[in-house]
Structure 1
Amino acid sequence: MQIKARTLSCLALVVTTLAITSCGTRAPVPTEGEAAATGGADQIATLRIESSVTRDALQGAMPGARMLSFNPAGGYAILSVTGQDGRAAGARLNSQSLRTLGVSSVQFEADVVLSAPSDPRADGLGLTGWAGGITGWAAGITGWAAGANILPETDWNRAVAYWNALGLPQAQQLVPERGQGVKVAVLDTGVDLNHPLLQGRVDAAAGWDFVDGDALPQEEHALLGDGKYGHGTAVTGIVLQVAPNAKVLPLRVLSPDGSAPMSRVVQALDRAVASGAKVVNLSLGSTTDSTALNTAIAGALAQGVLVVTSSGNSGTEGMVYPARKVNSATFPADSGLLAVGSVSPGLYKSDFTSYGVNMSLTAPGEEVLTTFPDNRLVRATGTSFAAPAVAGALALALSAGPSSPARLVTDLCATARANLDPIFKTKLGAGTLDVAAFVDTYR
């Protein structure tokens, strides 16, 4: 991302009211070669286990393996191993009594790379300064700086149009909790923990940086160029525009170039569930299917967690994984796994969005105003930022009271606006996100 923007002086900030909406830039869709790449010789082992299996027993059977997810109640464990150690462990496991250990099967796969989709246009992630800099989020979309318009007119009109397209003013009136008590995990490039619009709305204490292995999931510049700097902060801002009282759990899995080994994402998903997230946003994908990731997602869904994914930005039919698994035998349409594509303000298919008959729904994803590191705002374009609008809508609905994932998904799709695109309408899911109509089901 090549980005230029003016920085806002923190001294000029006054916390009042704001809620800008979002949809995303497009995470780079990996090529076939990139999708087949592995982190060295690393492999992932997915084990089907009995509930009596212990972590120590598995570690003893696979010395040197790193536990990514251990869920005996769900009947699985997922470990990361080096290629050589993995084959040796597999041989040992297959030569001994698996039933005695409590393992019914072991499946190895390459630790492939996932990516945040690349920008759909050269100017897809342009930035704007704060034009005066006095604003903040408060209890939703009620005004800027006591009613003063501090954005350039073009950006202000774009923000208002986006909010109205989603029905956010009505939705946040219907659900004054505005996401209160709901945690949304964002597995991405991290977040700018110092951004003034995100203060008090990010659960940094429970967050984790799986790239550097520390407790500071802060956005970082790439060594060469900007890479995907700001991707996670922009996604976070979208979630919080829709559900400003929700808490975002930042889990940094993507390196500054926007890539991550599958093992890292699996481990972060496990932490998200253990940390109490009710919604997980995955604005990333791969052209390679993964038993390990599918197993981890299924485990999250079984515990009532909704998982929202972006469809990809290839502009062609066929979404990236895990979005492509929606409405399959593995993940039925109402399972709680959602695939989100992008539409224009006129509800026509965005030229960059990946699409397919198994897509769940769409959301606006073109030049959406949202947060960006270093006290800035960004105009973001892509399916990466369509997905978090849906994640925010789910958080908003969940704050109105408990509901099952199946009902939430059914209601979300049933209340979507019909797509108007005469060519692609049958391959853009149930329609376009209508937050007001959706949450009205619960109030």
Structure 2
Amino acid sequence: MKHPALLLPLMTAALLASCGTAPLSAPEAQGSGASLQALGNDSSMKLAEASGRIGAWADGRIGAWATGRIGAWATGLNTSTAPGGTPNTFSENAAAWNLIRLTEAQALAPNLGRNVVVAVVDTGVDLNHPALTGHLTDPATWYDALSQDTNPSDEPTATSGLYGHGTAVAGLIVQVAPEARIMPVRALNADGEGTVASLAAGIDWAVEHGAQIINVSATSDKDNDLTKAIARAADRGVYVTLAAGNAGDDKVAFPARNSTKKNTLGQYAINAGAVNSDATLASWSNYGNALELTAPGVALASAIPGGDYALVSGTSFATPVLSGALALALGEPYKQSYVGQLALQLGATATNINAANSALTQGKSDGDVLGNGLLNAQAFLQKVR
């Protein structure tokens, strides 16, 4: 290993990217006071089976809440963490960003990830969302691995009425690294279902079209083809961030478990568990000796389709926080000795949170439960700059 709520009624949803939340209700359910419901431990929900279907929205009793339509995006995006005071985040996220010392990190990285390309291999992205205006890559780099075309829009679903996972992931990346560029790659349908083949194809596309970081907020059964795709990305010097999963187990899900390998894949890939704003591990987050790092992943405000925003929870949303931190570093003239070593340094500069999680860590050695601890973006930037 690299060193270093049940708050709403539950409803059944299709399996999706280790996030465990429902980012968006159907359009008719939007509006002030509308709520987004979480999935429960429904016995009909299965993770990937031999056919290679991936599980997303994995087991875990997690809530997500709509805050209603906000009209002009600027009325919701009302807080600045970046130098200069330009709004780039939500007041709801202040405690989470304080926890990882994001404001201090952004001051150390004044380029704010400028022009660093982060591929979001997911359900697609709302290409017209005001929060993402000016933050997307050239359309020639966009891809839909399901339809095999160049329109990776985050599409509504006719089955569960829940969609917007990829848009929420992208929205968090640009809050952490406001000048980064999002490459939208659709590899999962609106319900968060897909195959390891579609994920692998999305990863390969991102590598070939200039991604420097690839965010994969998805879980699967152990699959050699997906592992090989991540390894190909690593061999090309591309960082890959992965979600630990939301089953509340002491075993990190695949493909995230692969990031602990002592090879090039392990060097460039890193996985994320989710913590609350007090640094306690979310009750549904996976943990254990294959967990590498944790980041805020509970009730984070982010973009959702239609120009709206919502609070979302899951390791799916801790993962883009790591992606954003990597983008901050890649946007700067960081030390040459750390070329190819940035994922390792995220772990090496993390904050130990064992004391805040004594029920889990008591009697255990460091790294056995919570990996390297909590992302400390300031310490990370201080070290690699």
Q: TM-score when scaled to structure 2?
A: 0.81
- Equivalent pair of 1:316/1:353 in contact (CA under 8 Å): yes
1:36 counterpart = 2:26: no
SS of the aligned residue for 2:341 comes to helix
Residue in structure 2 matching 1:189, options 118, 123, 147: 123
Residue in structure 2 matching 1:165, options 93, 96, 99: 99
User: Once superposed, what is the RMSD of the aligned Cα atoms?
Assistant: 3.1
Question: Per-residue CA shift, 1:203-229, capped at 9, x if unaligned?
Answer: 2511111222221111111112323x1
Q: Take 1:187 and 1:141, find their aligned partners in 2: how far apart are those partners?
A: 26
Query: Which amino acid in the other structure matches residue 343 of structure 1?
Result: V
Matches within 5 A, 1:89-104: none
Residue in structure 2 matching 1:424, options 360, 363, 367: 360
* Amino-acid identity (%): 32
Match of 2:199 in 1: 265
Q: Cα distance, 1:353 vs. partner?
A: 0.4
1:213 counterpart = 2:151: no
Match of 2:326 in 1: 394
Q: Cα distance, 1:442 vs. partner?
A: 2.9
Q: Which has the larger radius of gyration?
A: 1
Question: Per-residue CA shift, 1:239-293, capped at 9, x if unaligned?
Answer: 111111010100001111101111111111111111111111110011x211111
Q: Cα distance, 1:405 vs. partner?
A: 5.9
SS of the aligned residue for 1:325 comes to helix
Q: Cα distance, 1:306 vs. partner?
A: 0.7
Question: Per-residue CA shift, 1:59-118, capped at 9, x if unaligned?
Answer: xxxxxxxxxxxxxxxxxxxxxxxxxxxxxxxxxxxxxxxxxxxxxxxxxxxxx0113224
Match of 1:441 in 2: 383
SS of the aligned residue for 2:136 comes to coil
Bigger proportion of residues as strand:
1
Q: Which runs of 5+ in 1 are unaligned?
A: 8-24, 39-111
- Equivalent pair of 1:363/1:390 in contact (CA under 8 Å): yes
SS of the aligned residue for 1:115 comes to coil
Matches within 5 A, 1:23-422: 34-38=47-51, 112-118=52-58, 120-121=60-61, 123-130=63-70, 133-135=73-75, 141-142=81-82, 156=91, 158-203=92-137, 205=139, 206-227=141-162, 229-286=163-220, 288-328=221-261, 333=266, 335-401=267-333, 404=338, 406-419=340-353, 420-422=356-358
Match of 2:31 in 1: 6
Q: Take 1:356 and 1:394, find their aligned partners in 2: how far apart are those partners?
A: 23
Do the aligned partners of residues 125 and 166 (structure 1) sit closer, same or farther apart at CA in structure 2, a change above 3 Å counting?
A: same
Do the aligned partners of residues 305 and 122 (structure 1) sit closer, same or farther apart at CA in structure 2, a change above 3 Å counting?
A: closer
SS of the aligned residue for 1:260 comes to coil
Query: Which amino acid in the other structure matches residue 208 of structure 1?
Result: Y
Question: Per-residue CA shift, 1:287-320, capped at 9, x if unaligned?
Answer: x211111111111111111111000000111121
- Equivalent pair of 2:170/2:320 in contact (CA under 8 Å): yes
Q: Take 2:93 and 2:378, find their aligned partners in 1: how far apart are those partners?
A: 17
Q: Cα distance, 1:198 vs. partner?
A: 0.5
- Equivalent pair of 1:116/1:284 in contact (CA under 8 Å): yes
Q: Cα distance, 1:358 vs. partner?
A: 1.4
Q: Cα distance, 1:141 vs. partner?
A: 2.5
Q: Cα distance, 1:140 vs. partner?
A: 6.0
Question: Per-residue CA shift, 1:335-390, capped at 9, x if unaligned?
Answer: 11111101111111110101120111000111011111111111011100000000
- Equivalent pair of 2:301/2:311 in contact (CA under 8 Å): yes
Q: Take 2:341 and 2:143, find their aligned partners in 1: how far apart are those partners?
A: 31
Do the aligned partners of residues 122 and 167 (structure 1) sit closer, same or farther apart at CA in structure 2, a change above 3 Å counting?
A: closer
Q: Take 1:135 and 1:307, find their aligned partners in 2: how far apart are those partners?
A: 33
Match of 1:47 in 2: none
